[in-house]
Structure 1
Amino acid sequence: MQIRSAIRSQGAEVMADGVHYRTWVPGKTEVAAIICNKNEIARTIPLMHEADGYFSGIDQRGRAGDLYKYRFADNDWPDPASRFNPDGVHGPARVSDPRDYVWQDREWSCPAMSELVFYELHLGTFTPEGTFRGAIGRLDHLVRLGVSAIEIMPVADFPGARNWGYDGVSLYAPARVYGTPNDFRGLVDAAHARGLAVVLDVVYNHLGPDGNYLGAYSREYFNPEHKTPWGDAFNFELKPVREFFAENPAYWRSEFHIDGFRLDATHAILDSSEKHFLAEIADRVHSLGGFVTVEDERHEPLLLLPSARGGYGLDAAWADDFHHVVRVMLTGAREGYYRSYKGTVGELIATLRDGWLLHGKARTRESSPNECAELAPETFIFCIGNHDQIGNQAFGERLHQKVTPAAFRAASALLCLVPYTPLIFMGDEWATSAPFQFFTDHEAELGRKITEGRRAEFGGFALFRDPAMRERIPDPQAAETFQRSKLRWKELGEGVHAATLRLYTELLRLRRTITALQDRRRSNWKVEETTPGIVEIVFGLTSKEKCKIVIDLVGGREGSLPNDSEWELLLSTNEKRFGGDEFAALIQPEVRVLWKVERD
């Protein structure tokens, strides 16, 4: 795997003649790099003023391992472009040389988007160790499961010892609680050696509330004309600001061999430039052989259309309508954003047919099939659980903790076999008993506000109108909230957990090996309601080999099964091997997989 090096406009770089420092501090007259090894100032390197507010200089005695801050305005400041912060986001940065890691993935080539099955994980709770190195020990499980890409929640360094990652403030520095930069490279290398692509979740719509020093460097990092839920938006119209963020995915791609990116909440990335910031990210990552996926509530085809057709050229988008329709069908939940969904068979068919159900920021009108027909199915990422949909439940319950085992098996089968790109959240493949709760580790006063705000969010829900009930919501700041969210790997071989894992493994094997399922072009499949309440996806419209997915997420339809005597039954989610009881078809929620070859 050969990737050309990215050139960064800011940061510390190890050069042949020492360490080169460069930072953007417009409006200042004196700036210096302070080398502070062993808690003492070893030397001060005055930085020369360049055009556009940059300052730079070379420390001829510098080397990898040096600790440094920048000094201006009578204070010493952490570097926003630091590669590593061994003492936390408020401490000095460590000079790192990416060339001191020897990569072993020269033969690696990332699979096409149409071949990917994502597995989303949080490094701190994925393993008991909660580290980059610890995650390596569980990669073989993912290979046996049959996923092809791990999607890692944000690793940009954050304050404290535990966080989901969306409070990151050091965009170029892997979080020191997970290990060193080379530990992260080791995880990526190990994933590639096992045939797993690596996707990194990155956040360019805001930085966290503690340790964000951009404003100390310049208020020009922000554009007060654009507002986000976190305050003023970043000033992507200004070149130095745009470069600071746009160079970030190229950095992860070139120095860490990250294959693709998931951009968080891109509807909150506001940019009035002629070329939108998202389109620039797509172009830069594509030029390095990577791909870009997004979370964007607008459901706009413009995001996924190629630039030649006026689009942003992004490769895929989270399509949460599928999750919402399934959850409403199975649980009857209608509060919060679920109120826009009815959970009907018609909504399920429309979502399976098109990829999106609701369209636009208001999320109130159904999208036209014509809007989705020109978008390849793999550009829509489906799930029945992800960090948001689980962690934003008051108690972090997973879907299988809210529905019957039969309903969860049926929803799982549908997810694994849809013609779209599936995403599995860590632990769902064995119906782990661990919740995934919201956790932070901020300083006391900020932490108190986070806890109060978290509980207040649920005040509009019927169950939590009573303040006493809201007090039962887990405290994000409590260490036990984090510990409770760690996966329980000892469950893998036990009862329902082993049966659920067996189901997921078999479903993904069928997805990989049945020829009719492998061709997921829209012309090769159709979705229809053949019997009231029974949905079928038929693959193989363009070939003699056919595969039919019969779907009933509700159950209670005994005797409604179509006459499939000419089809071979490959799998029922209610088989005993998967934890079912093999009652008559469709008494309980069920998905059946059938196969046949048409004769001449």
Structure 2
Amino acid sequence: MSGGFAFRKSWGAELFADGGARFRLWAPDAERLSLRLSGGADLPMQRTEMGWFEVQADGLTAGMEYGFVLPDGTCVPDPAARAQAGDVHGMSRLVDPTAYRWRTPDWRGRPWEETVIYELHVGAFSQTGDFDGVQRRLDYLARLGVTAVELMPVAQFSGERGWGYDGVLLYCPHRAYGGMEGLKRLVDAAHERGMMVFLDVVYNHFGPDGNYIHSYAPAFFDPKQHTPWGPTIRFEQPAVRSFFVENPLYWLEEYRLDGLRFDAIDQIADQADILILEEMAASIRQTFPNRHIHLATEDERNIVRLHPRDAENRPVLFTAEWNDDFHHAAHVTASGEEQGYYSDFAADPVGHLLRALTEGFAFQGEPYGPWDGKPRGVASNGQPPTAFVTFLQNHDQIGNRAFGERLTLLSDPRLLDILAAIHLLNPQVPLLYMGEEYGETRPFLFFTDFHGPLADAVREGRRREFAAFTAFSRDEIPDPNALSTFDSCRLDWGLADSAAGEARQNFYSRLLALRHHHIAPRLTDMLAMRATGQRLGERAFEVTWQLGDGALLRLLANLGERSISCPLAEEGATLLYGSGDGVLTSILGGSLPGYSLAVTLRKAPA
């Protein structure tokens, strides 16, 4: 072996340097198990303590196929396989994780304060729909000002296309995207360009097709509790716990990833004394003390207890929370939509946006309609702004619409430009969704690659989800399983290369350059939001942040048509960004034109 990076797992197959291999599977309900190797006889596995089965074999090489044979003769894949020979129903493939020769083995990452996230779907991002297709665009993203590429889930799921949240082999990069070799090449190439790579991981459920764990370890799941996608996982079981605690360590070690985004953690039901999420995060911090590792959460509850900081403002557990409140307030401000979960923001979207900018969450214990009017959230003003990830678009907020429309098609361009500048120039950590930077108009729809009754169920479920909407009929909703649905979501790089596309890229690049030079360096010592805000009118507001070095970042926004009065510009302040000609002159005179934004910076006294 070449001395690359490998993580020793409790589950599954581990190939040794001498050609031997160990195979382990937790199957407490199985009377016996056998290991099936390609080209050889089945080997009986020995039952050990606590329901584990184990066997070692000699003379094995990378590339050999294997599977576990249940008492009824069914051969199932390794749930912790690093690679599959084919789809999720077939044999797993034995691999040497150290075979890849890293060009950037000493990479240690970048500080969180420098982070600008670009979320993408590997299959829809490029024409080739794989990791190599993403790699070919890294220079483009670097020029834009992106510092971190975030991949939607890549753990192998059923079929060739899907969002990735139906993964069933959580240690296995999808073969359709280029497998383990393709992902390592992508991460390596990103690090060569000074860019980080994050991965979206799903620990609240398994997908509906290709999960065989229930057939030999039903105790892995709790049939009495359910998520929206299936039975909950029984994290209090030691074997189950090791499967999940080790999984993020595996991605961070073997693939040299810089961070993870934990999907829908509010759907993780954990009965253990120490919550699985806390154990995961603590284990990661202990294992990688000398690397910049960033851990983001998605959580409907608007909580802060998983994001504590130490005396030096370093994350103790998780780094930041996706701030849906910022998105919802900005979306309603831009689009005027009031249905569904936007209804609670509709009465005063600008007010909610102001609170999200100054305090973090817009809902901090107030009644919330989608929660049946129950209180949602806790006070968040004591959190630093870097404890929140903001976005105007992401996969959920586009793809969970019936027709996957992007905000580009739903907003007045003048409003969208102002909101983009607010998004990128406020101290919270920004996230862009693929194509946003050049004004992509193609949709991002929900798509899958299921067949038979499962495909019918998914199609009908999608139509029922929008049954209450009267503006269109259920039959108009695109079929998630149709190839044409997926094809319509591929980015239009021709639009990116057009004059309009390049102009918008230049706009985003300019904003990100301002953030990089003037704002990001001042966030390190920002221990709390340290913001004050006031309304200047129904559609206008002012926010001032005291940055870590004492500088004052001030934002004056008018999201309405009429000019409004505003406080005079502070003496010694520099205009970082103005949305139109004459903005500086206007604010010096105490007025702010309609549809305009001014961002100023006053450095701290020497």
Aligned to 2:332: 328
Report the 3-state secondary structure (helix = DSSP H, G, I; strand = E; otherwise coil) of the residue aligned with 1:274.
Answer: coil
Structure 2 counterparts to residues 415-426 of structure 1, below 5 A: 415-426=423-434
Deviation at 1:379, TM superposition (A): 1.1
508, 516, 519: which one aligns with 2:512: 508
Structure 1 position 569 matched with structure 2 position 575: yes
335, 339, 345: which one aligns with 2:350: 345
* CA distance, structure 2, for counterparts of residue 214 and residue 90 of structure 1: 12
Greater Cα shift, 45-54 or 2-11 = 2-11
Aligned to 2:296: 293
24, 33, 36: which one aligns with 1:34: 36
65, 68, 93: which one aligns with 2:66: 68
Deviation at 1:404, TM superposition (A): 1.0
Aligned to 1:531: 536
Structure 1 position 589 matched with structure 2 position 595: yes
Seen in structure 2, the aligned counterparts of structure 1 residues 454 and 472 have a Cα distance that, compared at 3 Å, is same
* CA distance, structure 1, for counterparts of residue 336 and residue 263 of structure 2: 28
Deviations 1:241-295 (A, max 9, x none): 1111211111111111111111111011111111000001101222232332111
Structure 2 counterparts to residues 454-533 of structure 1, below 5 A: 454-464=462-472, 469-514=473-518, 518-519=522-523, 521=526, 525-529=530-534, 531-532=536-537, 533=539
Deviations 1:332-370 (A, max 9, x none): 2221111221343322221111111124683754756xx
Q: What is the identity, as a one-letter code, of the residue corresponding to 2:15? A: V
Structure 1 position 158 matched with structure 2 position 157: yes
393, 396, 399: which one aligns with 2:407: 399
Aligned to 1:580: none
Aligned to 1:47: 45
Seen in structure 2, the aligned counterparts of structure 1 residues 364 and 358 have a Cα distance that, compared at 3 Å, is farther
* CA distance, structure 2, for counterparts of residue 117 and residue 335 of structure 1: 30
Aligned to 1:372: 380
Aligned to 1:6: 7
- Percent sequence identity is 36
Question: Is contact 1:285–1:291 with CA below 8 Å preserved after alignment?
Answer: no
Q: What is the identity, as a one-letter code, of the residue corresponding to 2:21? A: V
Report the 3-state secondary structure (helix = DSSP H, G, I; strand = E; otherwise coil) of the residue aligned with 2:13.
Answer: strand
Deviation at 1:17, TM superposition (A): 4.3
Deviation at 1:180, TM superposition (A): 2.4
Report the 3-state secondary structure (helix = DSSP H, G, I; strand = E; otherwise coil) of the residue aligned with 2:98.
Answer: helix
Unpaired runs of 5+ residues, structure 1, are 577-583
Aligned to 1:173: 172
Deviation at 1:157, TM superposition (A): 0.4
Structure 1 position 302 matched with structure 2 position 301: no
> How many matched pairs?
579
Deviation at 1:546, TM superposition (A): 4.2
Seen in structure 2, the aligned counterparts of structure 1 residues 573 and 99 have a Cα distance that, compared at 3 Å, is same
Aligned to 2:80: 81
Seen in structure 2, the aligned counterparts of structure 1 residues 30 and 599 have a Cα distance that, compared at 3 Å, is closer
Structure 1 position 147 matched with structure 2 position 134: no
Question: Is contact 1:523–1:542 with CA below 8 Å preserved after alignment?
Answer: no
* CA distance, structure 2, for counterparts of residue 268 and residue 421 of structure 1: 24
Deviation at 1:539, TM superposition (A): 4.0
Aligned to 1:581: none
TM-score (norm 1): 0.91
Deviation at 1:82, TM superposition (A): 1.0
* CA distance, structure 2, for counterparts of residue 574 and residue 193 of structure 1: 37
Report the 3-state secondary structure (helix = DSSP H, G, I; strand = E; otherwise coil) of the residue aligned with 1:57.
Answer: strand
Deviation at 1:561, TM superposition (A): 4.7
Question: Is contact 2:65–2:85 with CA below 8 Å preserved after alignment?
Answer: no
Question: Is contact 1:123–1:152 with CA below 8 Å preserved after alignment?
Answer: yes
Report the 3-state secondary structure (helix = DSSP H, G, I; strand = E; otherwise coil) of the residue aligned with 2:88.
Answer: coil
TM-score (norm 2): 0.90
Question: Is contact 1:120–1:423 with CA below 8 Å preserved after alignment?
Answer: yes
Question: Is contact 1:34–1:70 with CA below 8 Å preserved after alignment?
Answer: yes
Question: Is contact 1:527–1:535 with CA below 8 Å preserved after alignment?
Answer: no
Question: Is contact 1:279–1:312 with CA below 8 Å preserved after alignment?
Answer: no
Seen in structure 2, the aligned counterparts of structure 1 residues 422 and 47 have a Cα distance that, compared at 3 Å, is same
Aligned to 1:211: 210
Q: What is the identity, as a one-letter code, of the residue corresponding to 1:83? A: R
Question: Is contact 2:37–2:66 with CA below 8 Å preserved after alignment?
Answer: yes
15, 20, 23: which one aligns with 1:21: 23
* CA distance, structure 1, for counterparts of residue 305 and residue 551 of structure 2: 35
* CA distance, structure 1, for counterparts of residue 215 and residue 549 of structure 2: 63
Aligned to 1:551: 557
Deviations 1:388-447 (A, max 9, x none): 001111111111110011111111111101111111111101111221111101013211
Deviations 1:542-582 (A, max 9, x none): 76754422222x32122535443855434333469xxxxxx
* CA distance, structure 1, for counterparts of residue 500 and residue 593 of structure 2: 20
Question: Is contact 1:328–1:343 with CA below 8 Å preserved after alignment?
Answer: no
* CA distance, structure 2, for counterparts of residue 136 and residue 585 of structure 1: 47
* CA distance, structure 2, for counterparts of residue 252 and residue 523 of structure 1: 31
Report the 3-state secondary structure (helix = DSSP H, G, I; strand = E; otherwise coil) of the residue aligned with 1:21.
Answer: strand
* CA distance, structure 1, for counterparts of residue 174 and residue 148 of structure 2: 21
Aligned to 2:585: none
* CA distance, structure 2, for counterparts of residue 523 and residue 72 of structure 1: 55
Q: What is the identity, as a one-letter code, of the residue corresponding to 1:593? A: V
Report the 3-state secondary structure (helix = DSSP H, G, I; strand = E; otherwise coil) of the residue aligned with 1:551.
Answer: strand
* CA distance, structure 1, for counterparts of residue 119 and residue 344 of structure 2: 26
* CA distance, structure 1, for counterparts of residue 200 and residue 155 of structure 2: 9
Q: What is the identity, as a one-letter code, of the residue corresponding to 1:23? A: L
Structure 1 position 137 matched with structure 2 position 136: yes
* CA distance, structure 2, for counterparts of residue 162 and residue 27 of structure 1: 33
Structure 1 position 248 matched with structure 2 position 247: yes
Q: What is the identity, as a one-letter code, of the residue corresponding to 1:57? A: V
Deviation at 1:84, TM superposition (A): 0.9
Structure 1 position 91 matched with structure 2 position 124: no
Question: Is contact 2:534–2:543 with CA below 8 Å preserved after alignment?
Answer: no
Aligned to 1:446: 454
Deviations 1:444-474 (A, max 9, x none): 321121111111101122424xxxx221111
Seen in structure 2, the aligned counterparts of structure 1 residues 255 and 355 have a Cα distance that, compared at 3 Å, is same
Aligned to 1:355: 360
Report the 3-state secondary structure (helix = DSSP H, G, I; strand = E; otherwise coil) of the residue aligned with 1:100.
Answer: coil
Question: Is contact 2:285–2:316 with CA below 8 Å preserved after alignment?
Answer: no
